[in-house]
Structure 1
Amino acid sequence: MHFGTAAAEFDVVVIGAGLGGLSAAAACARAGRSVFVVDAQDGPGGYAHAFRRGPYRFDPAVHVTSLAHEGEVLYEYLRALGALDAVEFLDLDEFYGVELPGFRMRVPHGVDAFIEAHAERWPAQRAGIRAVVRLCQEVFEESQQLSTRTSWRDLDEAVRTSPLMFEHRLSTVDDVMDRFVTDGKARSALSALWPYMGVPPSRLTFTGFCSMLMSMVRRGPSYCRGGFQSLADALAGVVRAAGGLFRYGTRVTRIVIEGGRAAGVVLADGTLVRAGTVISNADATTTMHQLVGAQHLPANYVRRLGRLTPSWSAFVLFAATTLDLAELAPAHETFVFDHWDHDVSEAAIGQGQRGGMWLSVPSLVDPGMAPPGEHTVVFSTLARADCPRWGDRKVEFELGMLERLERLLPGITGTLTFLDSATPRTLCRYTGNQAGAIYGWENTPRQSQPKRLRCVTPLPGLLLAGHWTEPGAGSFRVILSGMQAAAVAIGAANQDDFVARLLVGAGSRP
C-alpha cells in the first residue's frame, strides 16, 4: 500500500502493531476514526505474533491472558468491538504448576481453592496465607475503581475510597508477605507467579502483584485457540472492517512536530503521514529520543525517562516432541526454580545464567498447535540482554535449558522432532525494545501504576500504549493501555461513554 507523492492524512496513526497498539487502533476505528497502523514486522501481534516451523505453531511470549470470561473486561471489550466471534478463549483446568527444589505443586484457580492448596502444604501458616490473599483481593478490587488518570484535584477522594492501594503503593510483595506468612518456603510458593512480572518478590510491586494474581485466580487464566496470534488478528480485523489501513515491514523514522504538537509520522521511505493523534506502541525511550527528540519535551520528563529501568529480557526454547505429555500431565504453565530463595534466582540471571523459568505446553489445551501424536513446548527463562557474546553462547545456553527440561519432562530430549531458540538479541531485534525487555519497565513500586509513564504525554497529540505505560505488563494490561489511549483519542468522557461509542460502531464518525 502506497500513498503516492501527496501526504496521506488520518485521524489516528498507530506506531507498532503489538496488542497495545492494535487495541488502540481497533477502538479508534470502531468509534469512527480513520486509522493507519505501521509496524516494522511482517504482521500484527508484537510479542503475540506467532510463528510456524513446518507443522508446528509457536507463541513466542504470550501464553495466557486474564479476564477473558463472559462478563469480564477483556471478553466484554471484544464484544463491544464486534471481535468476539473471531477469537475463542479456552479455559485452563488449573491456575499453574510450581517446581522448587524437592517440591512440586499444582495450583488451582478459585480464591478459596488457592488459599486451601497452600494452607494444606503449610497448615501452621493457614491464617497468614488467608489474610494475605484476602488483602490482595481487597487491593485488586480498589484498583478497579481507581482511574489511572486521577488528578491532584481528585487525590484526596481517591485516597479516601482506595486506602489500601495508597497505603501499599510503594510496598514490595516481600514487604507485605513477611507481615503475614512467617515460613520462608510458604512465601516462596505463594509468590511463584513472579516471573510473569519479571521481578522477584523483594523488588516486585505489591499492587501490581495483586492485580496479576487476582485477575487470573478467580476464574482462571485463558488460552486462545490457535495461539495468541488469533487475538491479534481479531483486533486487526476490527481496524480493517472499519476501513483502517496497515503497512507492515516499514519503520517510522520521525514523529512530525508542528506548532508544538504531534502532527503525523515520516516512514522509512520518506512518506509523510499526517494525523491529528499519534499513538506509539513502540519502545518509550526510542519514541521520545529518536522519533520525537528531547528538544520537544520538558526537561523534567526527559530526566524522568532517563531514570526508568527496563525489565529483564528472556531466552526462549521452542521444541516439539513425540513424548506422551498427556500422560505426564504437566500444567499448561509451570514456574520452575532451582532455588527456594527468589533473590538467588535473580542473582543467577544477573550472572548470565538461567533463573525465573516457566514451561508452557500449549498443545495440551489446543492440540492443533502440533501434528497428531506430538506436542509443542515453550521453555523460557528471564535473561540479561547485555550478556557478552550471546551469539557464541546460544548453543551452550540451549543445552543447559534442555538439561533442565529433561528433569521436568523425563524422556523429552530423546523424542524431540524440532528445536530452536531465541536469545535476548532476537527479542531486541524483533520488537525494537531496548535491551530486549519483555515487560517494558521493571515492575518495581517506583515504576508501576501510578508512577509508570502515563498514556498522555507532555506533547499534545502524542499518546502511549503498551507495557511502557500504564497499567503495566501482561497481555491484558497492554490491551487495557490501548483502550485508555483510544479513550483519550476519541474524547470519551468516561468509561460508559467509551463503551457506548464502540457499541455504536463505525457509523459514529463525526
Structure 2
Amino acid sequence: MHFSALWPYLGLPPEKVSFVYWASMLMGYVSDGAYYCRGGFHKFADSLVTGLKQAGGEIYFKSKVSKINVCDNRVQSVLLASGQVIQAETVISNADMLQTVHDMVGKEYFPKRYLSRLQRMQTSCSIFVVYIATDLDLVQAGAHHEAFYYHELNHEVNYNNALQGEVSWMSVTVPTLLDDGLAPKGEHLIVLTALANYDQAENWQQAKADYMKKMLDFADSKINNLKSHILFIEAGSPATMQRYTLNNKGAAYGWAMTPEQVGASRIANKAPIEGLYFAGHWTMPGGGVYGVSYSGVQTAQKVLGLTRQDELWALCASTDGEL
C-alpha cells in the first residue's frame, strides 16, 4: 500500500498504470535516490539553456511555431508566428504531438496508419495546483518535504474522485524544508497538487476558486491553522496548464501511462518524415521528469546516428563547441 501511494507521479492508479514503468520509477528512487533542484525546478531548465548555448545553440523565447514546412517527405524549415522562417534539416518537437502532426506539419504528410494510431492513443489527465506562501512554522507543525494524503485507501476510487472534481487526496510539497533559501526567514512555500479532468468544468475560470477552496480545506485538515497563515496564494487549473504548455487539455503526462502506451509501445522518437523527431512525454519512453529526460537522450542518439548511448556521452565529453 505504501509503495502504491506514489501512483500520482504517473497519473494513473495501480489498476491502470504500466507496472513496468512504475517499477522502473521506484527502482530509480531506491537505487539512486530522489533529487531536487536547489533554487527551484527552473534551475533544471536554466541548465539546459546554458548547455545549449555553450554548444553553439540559439534560443528564441516567446516564439510560437506556426508551421513545420515539408517537401518531398523531408522537413525544410520552421515558420514562426512572427513570420520569420528558420531553415532546418532536422526538427525536434517536444510539443503536443497531435498539434505537431495535425497543425504544424499537416495530416496529409503522414501515412493513414500512423494517423489512425495517433487517434487511438489515450491522452493523460491534467493537474490542479495551488501555490502558497505562509508564515506558519511548518517544522513545528510536523510537515514533510513531500507527503501524499488520502481519505480513501482504494486508489481507483481516489482516481475516479479526482476526475469527477472531488478532492479526496492530494500531494503536499514544502520545498523550503529542503531549500530554505527559496523564501524569507520564517516563511515557507507550499505546493498542493491533485490530478484533474479538463472536461470536468465547463469554465475553469469560474470553477477555479471553488476547486482551490476544496484543496485548501483539505490541506488545512492536515496542517493545522494553515488557512490563517497564508501570505500569498495562487492556483493553476487544467486550463492554465493548457494555456502555458499548449498540451491538449493540459495533459500532464502526454499520453496516459497505460501498459499499451509506454516504452516501445509509445509513439517512436523518429517520425515517418525525414528530419522530424519527437522528444518529451508524448514519445518514448514515457512521462515524468526521468522519462522525458531520457527521451531527449534517445532522440539525440537517433539524430546523430549513434547506436550506443556511451557513444553519445563520449561525444559530449570530447566536444567543446558545436556538435
TM-score by length of 1: 0.62
Q: What pairs with 1:34-433 in structure 2 (closer than 5 Å)?
A: 188-386=1-199, 387-433=201-247
Contact 2:163/2:195, CA 8 A, preserved across alignment: no
Do the aligned partners of 2:145 and 2:177 also contact (CA within 8 Å) in 1? Answer: yes
Higher relative contact order (CA 8 A, sep 6+): 1
Residue number in structure 1 paired with 2:280? 466
**Deviation digits for residues 303-359 of structure 1, max 9, x if unmatched?**
000111111101101001111112233221111222111111111122122355211
Report the CA distance shift for 1:375/1:302 in structure 2 as closer, same or farther (over 3 A): same
Larger Rg: 1
Question: Hey, which bits of structure 1, 4+ residues long, moved more than 4 A?
Answer: none
Alpha-carbon separation, structure 2, partners of 1:441 and 1:473: 8
Q: Is the Cα contact below 8 Å between 2:172 and 2:193 reproduced in 1?
A: yes
Tell me, what secondary structure is at the counterpart of 1:381?
A: strand
1-side partners of 2:231 and 2:63: how far apart?
Answer: 34
**1:444 maps to what in 2?**
258
Change (3 A) 1:446 1:230: same
Secondary structure, aligned partner of 2:300 = helix
From the superposition, tell whether residues 409 and 506 of structure 1 become closer, same or farther in structure 2 (CA, over 3 Å): same
Contact kept? 1:318, 1:420, Cα under 8 Å: yes
Residue 206 of structure 1 deviates from its aligned partner by 0.4
State the alpha-carbon separation in 1 of the partners of residues 91 and 256 from structure 2. Answer: 25
| CA deviation after TM superposition for structure 1 residue 217, in Å | 2.1
- Equivalents in 2 of 1:487, 1:382: separation in Å? 33
For residues 356 and 444 of structure 1, the distance between their equivalents in structure 2, rounded to whole angstroms, comes to 21
CA distance in 2, matches of 1:252, 1:406: 43
Q: Write the distance in 1 (CA, Å) between the matches of 2:54 and 2:232.
A: 37
- Kindly provide the CA deviation profile for residues 117-161 of structure 1, in whole angstroms up to 9, marking residues without a partner as x: xxxxxxxxxxxxxxxxxxxxxxxxxxxxxxxxxxxxxxxxxxxxx
Q: Which of 263, 267, 292 is the matching residue for 1:453?
A: 267
Q: Distance in 1 between matches of 2:217 and 2:322?
A: 57
* Distance of 1:355 and 1:280 partners within structure 2: 36
Taking a change above 3 Å as real, the CA distance of residues 375 and 350 of structure 1, as seen in their structure-2 partners, is same
The answer on whether the counterparts of 1:354 and 1:383 sit within 8 Å (CA) in structure 2 is no
Aligned-partner Cα distance in 2 for 1:355–1:429: 26
Q: Deviation of residue 507 (structure 1)?
A: 4.6
Q: Aligned equivalents of 1:378 and 1:344: distance in 2?
A: 23
Unaligned 5+ residue runs, structure 1? 1-187
Give the superposition deviation at 1:367: 0.5
Q: Indicate the percent of aligned positions where both proteins have the same amino acid.
A: 39
Pairwise CA RMSD: 1.3
- Opposite residue 286 of structure 1, the aligned amino acid is Q
2:297 is equivalent to residue 505 of structure 1: no
